[in-house]
Amino acid sequence: MAASWIRNLRDASDILRRARSPAQLAKALVPNKWLGRKVLNGEVAAATSASPTEIAEALRKLRNDLKSEALDEDGQVDYAKLRSSPTFAEMKATSGLLQAIDLDEMSDDPERIAFWTNLYNVLAIHGVLALGIRESVMEVPSFFGVVAYRVGDLVLTLDEIENGVLRRNAPHPATGVRLFDDDDPRLALCPSRVDPRIHAALVCASTSCPPVAFYQASKLDAQLELAALNYVASGVEVDDVNRTVRIPITFRYYQSDFGREAGVRLFLVDYARDAQREALEAAFQAGYTLDYHRYDWSLNSMA
Protein backbone atom coordinates (compact mmCIF):
# COMPACT_ATOMS: atom_id res chain seq x y z
CA MET A 1 0.00 0.00 0.00
CA ALA A 2 2.80 2.44 0.90
CA ALA A 3 4.63 1.65 -2.34
CA SER A 4 1.47 2.33 -4.34
CA TRP A 5 0.90 5.64 -2.56
CA ILE A 6 4.49 6.72 -3.20
CA ARG A 7 4.19 5.75 -6.87
CA ASN A 8 0.97 7.77 -7.26
CA LEU A 9 2.61 10.79 -5.64
CA ARG A 10 5.61 10.45 -7.92
CA ASP A 11 3.36 10.20 -11.01
CA ALA A 12 1.50 13.34 -9.94
CA SER A 13 4.75 15.24 -9.42
CA ASP A 14 5.85 14.32 -12.96
CA ILE A 15 2.78 16.17 -14.24
CA LEU A 16 2.97 19.09 -11.81
CA ARG A 17 6.51 20.04 -12.75
CA ARG A 18 5.76 20.13 -16.49
CA ALA A 19 2.65 22.34 -16.44
CA ARG A 20 3.04 25.69 -18.19
CA SER A 21 1.24 27.66 -15.51
CA PRO A 22 -0.93 27.31 -12.39
CA ALA A 23 -3.95 28.08 -14.58
CA GLN A 24 -3.19 25.13 -16.86
CA LEU A 25 -2.63 22.92 -13.85
CA ALA A 26 -5.97 23.94 -12.35
CA LYS A 27 -7.77 22.82 -15.52
CA ALA A 28 -6.48 19.30 -14.94
CA LEU A 29 -8.66 19.16 -11.81
CA VAL A 30 -11.84 20.10 -13.70
CA PRO A 31 -14.09 17.22 -14.86
CA ASN A 32 -13.77 16.63 -18.60
CA LYS A 33 -17.39 17.55 -19.35
CA TRP A 34 -16.81 21.05 -17.95
CA LEU A 35 -13.66 21.77 -19.93
CA GLY A 36 -13.72 24.03 -22.95
CA ARG A 37 -12.69 21.88 -25.89
CA LYS A 38 -10.21 22.87 -28.57
CA VAL A 39 -11.77 21.43 -31.74
CA LEU A 40 -8.85 21.41 -34.15
CA ASN A 41 -10.92 20.96 -37.31
CA GLY A 42 -13.74 23.28 -36.26
CA GLU A 43 -12.65 26.06 -38.62
CA VAL A 44 -11.60 23.82 -41.49
CA ALA A 45 -13.98 23.71 -44.44
CA ALA A 46 -15.79 20.39 -44.54
CA ALA A 47 -16.33 18.33 -47.66
CA THR A 48 -19.92 17.85 -48.80
CA SER A 49 -19.61 14.09 -48.28
CA ALA A 50 -16.94 11.60 -47.32
CA SER A 51 -17.13 7.85 -46.77
CA PRO A 52 -15.01 5.96 -44.25
CA THR A 53 -13.10 4.52 -47.23
CA GLU A 54 -12.27 8.00 -48.52
CA ILE A 55 -11.24 9.10 -45.05
CA ALA A 56 -9.11 5.99 -44.72
CA GLU A 57 -7.42 6.77 -48.03
CA ALA A 58 -6.76 10.35 -46.92
CA LEU A 59 -5.36 9.10 -43.62
CA ARG A 60 -3.17 6.58 -45.45
CA LYS A 61 -1.78 9.33 -47.67
CA LEU A 62 -1.17 11.46 -44.60
CA ARG A 63 0.49 8.47 -42.93
CA ASN A 64 2.81 7.98 -45.89
CA ASP A 65 3.69 11.66 -45.98
CA LEU A 66 4.31 11.69 -42.23
CA LYS A 67 6.52 8.61 -42.50
CA SER A 68 8.58 10.05 -45.33
CA GLU A 69 8.88 13.54 -43.90
CA ALA A 70 8.63 13.46 -40.13
CA LEU A 71 8.88 9.94 -38.67
CA ASP A 72 12.07 7.99 -38.09
CA GLU A 73 12.43 4.20 -38.05
CA ASP A 74 11.58 4.11 -34.34
CA GLY A 75 8.30 5.98 -34.82
CA GLN A 76 9.60 9.22 -33.29
CA VAL A 77 8.26 12.50 -34.68
CA ASP A 78 10.12 15.52 -36.02
CA TYR A 79 7.67 18.10 -34.67
CA ALA A 80 9.99 21.01 -35.42
CA LYS A 81 10.03 20.11 -39.11
CA LEU A 82 6.29 19.42 -39.19
CA ARG A 83 5.36 22.87 -37.84
CA SER A 84 6.37 24.53 -41.11
CA SER A 85 5.75 21.57 -43.37
CA PRO A 86 3.19 21.04 -46.16
CA THR A 87 2.27 17.85 -44.31
CA PHE A 88 0.88 19.92 -41.43
CA ALA A 89 -1.32 21.75 -43.93
CA GLU A 90 -2.37 18.34 -45.30
CA MET A 91 -3.19 17.20 -41.76
CA LYS A 92 -5.49 20.18 -41.26
CA ALA A 93 -7.18 19.63 -44.63
CA THR A 94 -7.68 15.92 -43.97
CA SER A 95 -9.18 16.65 -40.58
CA GLY A 96 -11.81 18.78 -42.33
CA LEU A 97 -13.11 15.70 -44.13
CA LEU A 98 -14.07 14.17 -40.80
CA GLN A 99 -17.01 16.54 -40.45
CA ALA A 100 -18.73 15.01 -43.48
CA ILE A 101 -18.24 11.35 -42.60
CA ASP A 102 -21.23 9.04 -42.14
CA LEU A 103 -20.27 7.09 -39.04
CA ASP A 104 -23.07 4.55 -39.62
CA GLU A 105 -21.06 3.15 -42.53
CA MET A 106 -18.52 1.68 -40.12
CA SER A 107 -20.25 -1.61 -39.44
CA ASP A 108 -17.68 -3.99 -37.97
CA ASP A 109 -15.01 -4.03 -35.27
CA PRO A 110 -11.90 -3.95 -37.51
CA GLU A 111 -13.19 -0.85 -39.31
CA ARG A 112 -14.03 0.90 -36.06
CA ILE A 113 -10.86 -0.01 -34.20
CA ALA A 114 -8.57 0.87 -37.12
CA PHE A 115 -10.37 4.16 -37.78
CA TRP A 116 -10.41 5.39 -34.19
CA THR A 117 -6.85 4.25 -33.47
CA ASN A 118 -5.53 6.08 -36.53
CA LEU A 119 -7.60 9.13 -35.66
CA TYR A 120 -6.28 9.18 -32.11
CA ASN A 121 -2.68 9.02 -33.30
CA VAL A 122 -3.16 11.83 -35.83
CA LEU A 123 -5.10 13.98 -33.36
CA ALA A 124 -2.34 13.67 -30.75
CA ILE A 125 0.27 14.91 -33.25
CA HIS A 126 -2.08 17.66 -34.43
CA GLY A 127 -2.66 18.70 -30.83
CA VAL A 128 1.05 19.01 -30.12
CA LEU A 129 1.46 21.31 -33.12
CA ALA A 130 -1.71 23.36 -32.54
CA LEU A 131 -1.01 23.99 -28.85
CA GLY A 132 2.66 24.78 -29.40
CA ILE A 133 3.85 21.91 -27.20
CA ARG A 134 7.64 21.89 -27.02
CA GLU A 135 8.76 19.35 -24.43
CA SER A 136 5.73 17.45 -23.09
CA VAL A 137 1.97 17.20 -23.54
CA MET A 138 1.82 17.73 -19.77
CA GLU A 139 2.66 21.37 -20.40
CA VAL A 140 -1.13 21.38 -20.80
CA PRO A 141 -2.23 18.75 -18.22
CA SER A 142 -5.78 18.77 -19.61
CA PHE A 143 -4.41 17.96 -23.11
CA PHE A 144 -6.30 14.67 -23.49
CA GLY A 145 -9.55 16.17 -22.22
CA VAL A 146 -9.60 19.25 -24.49
CA VAL A 147 -7.89 18.40 -27.81
CA ALA A 148 -10.69 17.22 -30.10
CA TYR A 149 -11.95 16.65 -33.62
CA ARG A 150 -15.48 17.02 -34.93
CA VAL A 151 -16.38 13.70 -36.59
CA GLY A 152 -19.69 13.82 -38.39
CA ASP A 153 -22.05 15.62 -36.03
CA LEU A 154 -20.11 14.58 -32.93
CA VAL A 155 -17.11 16.04 -31.10
CA LEU A 156 -14.61 13.70 -29.47
CA THR A 157 -11.51 14.45 -27.44
CA LEU A 158 -8.52 12.15 -27.19
CA ASP A 159 -9.85 10.87 -23.87
CA GLU A 160 -13.25 10.19 -25.39
CA ILE A 161 -11.80 8.32 -28.35
CA GLU A 162 -9.71 6.10 -26.10
CA ASN A 163 -11.85 5.63 -23.00
CA GLY A 164 -15.30 6.35 -24.40
CA VAL A 165 -15.14 4.62 -27.78
CA LEU A 166 -12.28 2.10 -27.94
CA ARG A 167 -12.60 1.06 -24.28
CA ARG A 168 -16.41 0.99 -24.50
CA ASN A 169 -16.94 3.72 -21.91
CA ALA A 170 -14.78 2.05 -19.28
CA PRO A 171 -13.93 4.23 -16.26
CA HIS A 172 -11.15 6.71 -16.91
CA PRO A 173 -7.92 5.35 -15.36
CA ALA A 174 -7.16 8.63 -13.56
CA THR A 175 -10.61 9.57 -12.26
CA GLY A 176 -12.60 6.35 -12.31
CA VAL A 177 -15.41 8.24 -14.09
CA ARG A 178 -17.15 7.10 -17.26
CA LEU A 179 -17.00 9.83 -19.92
CA PHE A 180 -20.31 9.08 -21.67
CA ASP A 181 -23.76 9.16 -20.09
CA ASP A 182 -26.08 6.23 -20.81
CA ASP A 183 -27.92 8.17 -23.53
CA ASP A 184 -24.79 9.56 -25.23
CA PRO A 185 -25.01 8.97 -29.01
CA ARG A 186 -21.26 8.38 -29.12
CA LEU A 187 -21.80 4.99 -27.46
CA ALA A 188 -22.99 3.76 -30.85
CA LEU A 189 -19.43 4.23 -32.15
CA CYS A 190 -17.93 1.59 -29.85
CA PRO A 191 -16.65 -1.77 -31.11
CA SER A 192 -18.42 -4.82 -29.72
CA ARG A 193 -15.58 -5.58 -27.30
CA VAL A 194 -12.43 -4.06 -25.86
CA ASP A 195 -9.30 -5.32 -27.59
CA PRO A 196 -6.45 -4.84 -25.08
CA ARG A 197 -3.91 -4.75 -27.90
CA ILE A 198 -4.99 -1.16 -28.61
CA HIS A 199 -2.70 -0.12 -25.75
CA ALA A 200 0.24 -1.18 -27.89
CA ALA A 201 -1.09 0.97 -30.75
CA LEU A 202 -2.39 4.24 -29.26
CA VAL A 203 0.30 6.93 -29.21
CA CYS A 204 -0.12 9.79 -26.75
CA ALA A 205 2.83 11.82 -28.12
CA SER A 206 5.09 10.79 -25.25
CA THR A 207 8.32 8.81 -24.97
CA SER A 208 6.72 5.95 -23.03
CA CYS A 209 4.11 5.45 -25.78
CA PRO A 210 4.52 2.85 -28.53
CA PRO A 211 6.03 4.09 -31.81
CA VAL A 212 3.67 5.86 -34.18
CA ALA A 213 2.02 3.48 -36.63
CA PHE A 214 -1.18 3.34 -38.67
CA TYR A 215 -3.63 0.51 -39.11
CA GLN A 216 -5.81 -1.00 -41.86
CA ALA A 217 -9.09 -2.75 -41.16
CA SER A 218 -8.25 -5.57 -43.59
CA LYS A 219 -4.95 -6.27 -41.81
CA LEU A 220 -5.88 -5.17 -38.30
CA ASP A 221 -5.47 -8.45 -36.44
CA ALA A 222 -1.98 -9.08 -37.80
CA GLN A 223 -0.97 -5.46 -37.22
CA LEU A 224 -2.19 -5.45 -33.61
CA GLU A 225 -0.47 -8.79 -33.02
CA LEU A 226 2.82 -7.29 -34.20
CA ALA A 227 2.28 -4.16 -32.12
CA ALA A 228 1.66 -6.26 -28.99
CA LEU A 229 4.70 -8.45 -29.67
CA ASN A 230 6.93 -5.39 -30.06
CA TYR A 231 5.45 -3.74 -26.97
CA VAL A 232 6.23 -6.72 -24.76
CA ALA A 233 9.66 -7.30 -26.33
CA SER A 234 10.75 -3.72 -25.76
CA GLY A 235 9.06 -2.88 -22.47
CA VAL A 236 9.18 -5.98 -20.27
CA GLU A 237 12.13 -7.13 -18.19
CA VAL A 238 12.66 -9.76 -15.52
CA ASP A 239 14.57 -8.55 -12.46
CA ASP A 240 15.86 -11.66 -10.68
CA VAL A 241 17.64 -9.64 -7.98
CA ASN A 242 14.41 -7.99 -6.79
CA ARG A 243 12.15 -10.87 -7.89
CA THR A 244 9.98 -8.60 -9.99
CA VAL A 245 8.77 -8.40 -13.57
CA ARG A 246 8.99 -4.76 -14.64
CA ILE A 247 6.46 -3.71 -17.28
CA PRO A 248 4.99 -0.56 -18.86
CA ILE A 249 2.74 1.27 -16.42
CA THR A 250 0.02 1.14 -19.07
CA PHE A 251 -0.70 -2.35 -17.78
CA ARG A 252 -1.54 -0.86 -14.37
CA TYR A 253 -3.61 2.03 -15.73
CA TYR A 254 -5.72 -0.29 -17.91
CA GLN A 255 -5.48 -3.51 -15.95
CA SER A 256 -9.22 -4.18 -16.28
CA ASP A 257 -8.91 -4.36 -20.09
CA PHE A 258 -6.51 -7.31 -19.76
CA GLY A 259 -8.52 -9.20 -17.15
CA ARG A 260 -6.96 -7.78 -14.00
CA GLU A 261 -3.50 -8.86 -12.84
CA ALA A 262 -3.99 -12.50 -13.82
CA GLY A 263 -4.92 -11.38 -17.33
CA VAL A 264 -1.88 -9.11 -17.55
CA ARG A 265 0.40 -12.02 -16.68
CA LEU A 266 -1.22 -14.21 -19.35
CA PHE A 267 -0.93 -11.42 -21.92
CA LEU A 268 2.77 -10.95 -21.18
CA VAL A 269 3.52 -14.64 -21.59
CA ASP A 270 1.38 -14.93 -24.73
CA TYR A 271 3.20 -12.07 -26.44
CA ALA A 272 6.72 -12.85 -25.25
CA ARG A 273 8.99 -14.95 -27.42
CA ASP A 274 11.89 -17.34 -26.96
CA ALA A 275 14.20 -16.51 -24.02
CA GLN A 276 11.97 -13.71 -22.76
CA ARG A 277 8.98 -16.05 -22.62
CA GLU A 278 10.96 -18.68 -20.75
CA ALA A 279 12.17 -16.06 -18.27
CA LEU A 280 8.63 -14.78 -17.69
CA GLU A 281 7.18 -18.25 -17.19
CA ALA A 282 9.91 -19.07 -14.68
CA ALA A 283 9.44 -15.74 -12.88
CA PHE A 284 5.70 -16.15 -12.51
CA GLN A 285 6.06 -19.75 -11.36
CA ALA A 286 8.52 -18.50 -8.72
CA GLY A 287 6.02 -15.90 -7.48
CA TYR A 288 7.69 -12.74 -8.81
CA THR A 289 5.59 -9.59 -8.40
CA LEU A 290 4.77 -7.01 -11.04
CA ASP A 291 6.51 -3.64 -10.98
CA TYR A 292 6.06 -0.75 -13.37
CA HIS A 293 8.32 1.52 -15.38
CA ARG A 294 7.99 5.20 -14.53
CA TYR A 295 6.03 6.95 -17.27
CA ASP A 296 8.14 9.31 -19.37
CA TRP A 297 5.94 12.23 -20.45
CA SER A 298 8.65 13.91 -22.53
CA LEU A 299 7.62 14.47 -26.13
CA ASN A 300 8.17 11.54 -28.54
CA SER A 301 10.27 13.77 -30.75
CA MET A 302 13.47 13.04 -32.60
CA ALA A 303 16.59 13.90 -30.65
pLDDT tens for 217-253 read 999 999 999 999 999 999 999 999 999 999 999 999 9
Q: Is residue 49 part of a domain?
A: yes
Question: Is residue 201 over pLDDT 70?
Answer: yes
Q: Is residue 303 part of a domain?
A: no
Distance, in Å, from the CA atom of 135 to the CA atom of 185, rounded to the nearest integer, reads: 36
Among 26-30, 71-75, 116-120, 215-219, the range scoring the smallest mean pLDDT is 26-30
118 and 146 housed in the same domain: yes
Choosing from 165, 193, 216, the residue where a domain stops is 216
Q: Which domain holds residue 273?
A: 229-292
Pairing state of beta strands 154-157 and 237-239? unpaired
Measured in whole angstroms, how far is the alpha carbon of residue 146 from the centre of its chain?
Answer: 15
What is the average pLDDT across 68-77? 78
Q: Please give the single-letter amino acid code of residue 283.
A: A
Q: What is the pLDDT of residue 55?
A: 74
237 and 210 housed in the same domain: no
CA-angle at 57, arms to 52 and 62, nearest 5°:
120
Q: Is residue 223 part of a domain?
A: no
15 and 163 housed in the same domain: yes
Phi and psi (nearest 5°) for 247?
-135, 165
Number of domains in the chain: 2
Choosing from 194, 216, 238, the residue where a domain stops is 216
52-69 helix and 86-97 helix, angle to the nearest 10 degrees: 170
Q: Is residue 62 part of a domain?
A: yes
Q: Is residue 151 part of a domain?
A: yes
Q: Is residue 224 part of a domain?
A: no
Q: Is residue 297 part of a domain?
A: no
33 and 162 housed in the same domain: yes
Q: Is residue 182 part of a domain?
A: yes
175 and 87 housed in the same domain: yes
What is the value of pTM for the model shown?
A: 0.90
Question: Is residue 172 over pLDDT 90?
Answer: yes
Measured in whole angstroms, how far is the alpha carbon of residue 63 from the centre of its chain?
Answer: 16
